[in-house]
A and B are shown apart, each in its own frame.
Chain A
Amino acid sequence: MTGIRLENVTKRFKTTLAVDDVTFSIRDGEFVVILGASGSGKSTILRIIAGLEVQTSGHVYIGDMQVDDYEPRDRNIAMVFQSYALYPHLRVYDNIAFGLRVRRVPREDDPDRFRRRTRQEIDDRVRHAADLLGIGDTLRKKPSELSGGQRQRVALARAIVRDPEAFLLDEPLSNLDAKIRSSARIELKRIHEQLKQTFVFVTHDQSEAMTLADRLVIVDHGRLLQFDTPENVLRSPANQFVASFVGSPEMVFLQGALTSVGGAYAFELDPVRIPVRGASSPGPTTIGFRPWDLAVDRAVGPGALSAVVRGVERLGSSDQLFLELNRASDHGVAPPSGVSLRAMAPAYEFQIGDTVGVTIRADRALFFGADGARLDALEGGTA
């Protein structure tokens, strides 16, 4: 089984800590996306798996083998670089065939000895990979003659043709035009399904990550924050950073307080009062909700936040209102005025300048403690 496993991997560059004690396990055939902002360490993790960087401490396993001391060429992995890194002086055919020509394969008659691949073998594989990616007609051209999308596919073909144990992709779609990017995304997923190999994909684009991943690795400042399926990350983010990073439109956060009266807990943000199940220590708490978890009324009811409509976006199926919260009272934990949020509501009902009431759906709200960690013990609403 060719999974990839990282155990307590840390990487320090002189004074900066790029990767901080990261541990995770990828299953064979899985499509895992490492998601993070620029400089979060995601590319470093990938390069450590590849062997292009050597970790400061910790272990890397490809398959069941510990590959810490292995050079990149001996790890049997293939890599697609953000810039594609095609050999400029070789034709497309030779670019793809390069890795095949360089390595030897075990002989059929005596697996302990090795031979070079035959020209026919190489040709078959190259053409097969090229057809798979639809670049069969560019084989005689040089990289400089190709478009960005074509080059990206050549880079992919070069990786595929070697039949490695895992594919490592470093932001391979970032340099494509927006139009091509979504179709490239779908094609990549299709190839993954066809090859059934392990893919490790690095990106900073959360929508890309959510679309492609079987499971997501979320990193920030070198630390692994969450490793889970996209749905789980969306619904049960490990902390406030993760919650704010994934999902579009972004989650909105308001600072309030958790109070306890008798044995009953509630989240209070004047004039909102949401009873809360579960237990936690009272104190400053942040509530997080998504625009689709809000109800907007023409009248400001009790317990609803008051807001002014600042903008209306008519998208047809999912109209959005841009609201600005009003200061409800001068004492207590009131929301700061000026916080803008979006809400889903039929656009025809409202006009710019209207004052509306905003209600948060209690059961969909998430709560975060002062340190940002999610208080997963808490659930909104009464039993």
Chain B
Amino acid sequence: MADLRDQTLGFRLRREWPAYIYLIPTTVVLLFLNAYPVAYTVYISMTDFGTGGRGSLLHYQYIGLGNYYRAILGSGGPTTLTLLENSLFWAAGSVALFLIVGLGLATVMNQELRGRAVYRTLILLPWAMPAFITILVWSNMWQYDYGIINELLATIGVRPIDWLGHASTAWTALFVTNLWLSFPFYTVVFLATMQAIPKDLYEAASIDGAGSFSRFRRITLPYLAPTIVFVGLMGFLFTFNNFYPIYLITSGGPGISTQIFITESYNKAFGSVGATPELSTAAVYSVIDFVIIVAITVVVIWRTDLTRNWLK
């Protein structure tokens, strides 16, 4: 045939090329402000910046994977392990709480209640307040000697608890604060999804003899499953690297029992005043953090087929 305009690569390019133009600004921004810094961080992680004992910002040299060896298998191993455990616990525990409370509240709100919209607006209101302000306030509330939580407990006869002094109570404080920060979001998202379920499914089910638990299990949950996975994953990733709650409330303490990768990395980079920042160590933690995150994301998306119909 003289002219064969097939769906070839060249053909698609001719028709769809404007897309590239539209993506140029974003690509430039992401390369410059995302890809390059990441590459730079990886590079730094393989130098002795700050740990070479030379005491100067400008002198560092490439030392390959030595830092990693030290951090994972060597002397830094226990610390890295603790950071890993803490980070995972922090993220997984928080998300579990978010999902349970979010689902529960959404279920309650899904009924035909009066003033439902009012409740929804009210619980979302704190979300409009800047996070670090409210976290500072929470930090203040958890204080042993003047925190309002202990004072309130005192009014009902409970002895003041040194929240931030012990690992278990510190984690409790962190989880409660984090729950406060996030539960409105999850509630609203689940509620919206639930409301999209056609009502006659429930009617048919109750005629068929299903009680409320059964209806929830067989109708509501399957509908919610993709959303649960999606926001669960998003929440996990977000919490894993959520800096402010831990930094402002416990500073990783007591000791490093609540320290996670991101806060330790920040400390190594900006923590000590005057001395050379241990940037290479900070970079190593950043990279380890990144690798774990990417691995978890890839696995979850792969196993749950989350993006099946997403790209035409």
Q: B40-84 interface mask toward A, CB cutoff 8 Å, 1 = contact, 0 = none?
A: 000000000000000000000000000000000000000000000
Q: B1-21 interface mask toward A, CB cutoff 8 Å, 1 = contact, 0 = none?
A: 101111100010001000000
A263 to B6, CA, bound (A): 53
Chain B min CB distance to A74 (Å): 15
Chain B min CB distance to A299 (Å): 54
A105 to B271, CA, bound (A): 69
Q: A49-65 interface mask toward B, CB cutoff 8 Å, 1 = contact, 0 = none?
A: 00000111100000000
Are B7 and A57 within 8 A (Cβ)? Answer: no
Are B6 and A12 within 8 A (Cβ)? Answer: yes
List chain B residues, Cβ under 8 A from A57: 1, 3-5
A13 to B4, CA, bound (A): 13
List chain B residues, Cβ under 8 A from A14: 7
Question: Dominant SS at the A interface?
Answer: loop
List chain A residues, Cβ under 8 A from B15: 54
Chain A min CB distance to B86 (Å): 49
Which residue on A lies nearest to B11, using beta carbons?
Answer: A54
Are B5 and A55 within 8 A (Cβ)? Answer: yes
A12 to B4, CA, bound (A): 11
Which residue on B lies nearest to A69, using beta carbons?
Answer: B5
Residue from A13, A55, A57 having most chain B Cβ neighbours under 10 A: A57
List chain A residues, Cβ under 8 A from B1: 57
Q: A230-257 interface mask toward B, CB cutoff 8 Å, 1 = contact, 0 = none?
A: 0000000000000000000000000000
Chain B min CB distance to A162 (Å): 24
Which residue on A lies nearest to B1, using beta carbons?
Answer: A57
Chain A min CB distance to B312 (Å): 12
A12 to B5, CA, bound (A): 10
List chain A residues, Cβ under 8 A from B5: 54-57
List chain A residues, Cβ under 8 A from B3: 57, 68
List chain B residues, Cβ under 8 A from A12: 6-7
Chain B min CB distance to A365 (Å): 42
| Interface size, chain A (Cβ < 8 Å) | 8
List chain A residues, Cβ under 8 A from B6: 12, 56
List chain B residues, Cβ under 8 A from A54: 5, 11, 15
A9 to B37, CA, bound (A): 52
List chain A residues, Cβ under 8 A from B11: 54
A68 to B2, CA, bound (A): 14
Chain A min CB distance to B1 (Å): 5
Q: A3-41 interface mask toward B, CB cutoff 8 Å, 1 = contact, 0 = none?
A: 000000000111000000000000000000000000000
List chain B residues, Cβ under 8 A from A56: 4-7
Chain B min CB distance to A146 (Å): 25
A14 to B15, CA, bound (A): 16
Chain B min CB distance to A126 (Å): 31
A251 to B1, CA, bound (A): 40
Residue from B4, B5, B11, B15 having most chain A Cβ neighbours under 10 A: B5
Chain B min CB distance to A141 (Å): 28
Chain B min CB distance to A56 (Å): 5
A55 to B1, CA, bound (A): 13
Which residue on B lies nearest to A55, using beta carbons?
Answer: B5
- The B84-123 residues at the A interface (CB cut-off 8 A) are none
List chain B residues, Cβ under 8 A from A13: 7
A13 to B12, CA, bound (A): 12
- The A68-120 residues at the B interface (CB cut-off 8 A) are 68
A203 to B248, CA, bound (A): 66
- The B219-246 residues at the A interface (CB cut-off 8 A) are none
Chain A min CB distance to B165 (Å): 58
Chain B min CB distance to A258 (Å): 40
Which residue on A lies nearest to B15, using beta carbons?
Answer: A54
A58 to B130, CA, bound (A): 62
List chain A residues, Cβ under 8 A from B7: 12-14, 56
A55 to B5, CA, bound (A): 7
Residue from A13, A54, A55, A68 having most chain B Cβ neighbours under 10 A: A54
List chain A residues, Cβ under 8 A from B4: 56-57
A43 to B252, CA, bound (A): 64
Chain B min CB distance to A110 (Å): 32
Q: A180-195 interface mask toward B, CB cutoff 8 Å, 1 = contact, 0 = none?
A: 0000000000000000
A13 to B5, CA, bound (A): 12
Which residue on B lies nearest to A54, using beta carbons?
Answer: B5
A68 to B4, CA, bound (A): 12
Chain A min CB distance to B4 (Å): 5
A57 to B11, CA, bound (A): 13
List chain B residues, Cβ under 8 A from A68: 3
A55 to B7, CA, bound (A): 9
A14 to B6, CA, bound (A): 9
A120 to B1, CA, bound (A): 50
Which residue on B lies nearest to A13, using beta carbons?
Answer: B7
Which residue on A lies nearest to B14, using beta carbons?
Answer: A54
A13 to B15, CA, bound (A): 15
A72 to B5, CA, bound (A): 17
Chain A min CB distance to B8 (Å): 10
Which residue on B lies nearest to A10, using beta carbons?
Answer: B1
A56 to B7, CA, bound (A): 8
Chain B min CB distance to A306 (Å): 48
- The A321-366 residues at the B interface (CB cut-off 8 A) are none
What are 6 pairs between A and B in contact, CB < 8 Å? A12-B6, A14-B7, A54-B11, A54-B15, A55-B5, A68-B3
Residues of A bordering B, CB below 8 Å: 12-14, 54-57, 68
Closest 4 CB pairs of A and B: A57-B1, A57-B4, A56-B6, A54-B5
Known pairs A13-B7, A57-B1, A57-B3; list 12 more (Cβ under 8 Å): A12-B6, A12-B7, A14-B7, A54-B11, A54-B15, A56-B4, A56-B5, A56-B6, A56-B7, A57-B4, A57-B5, A68-B3
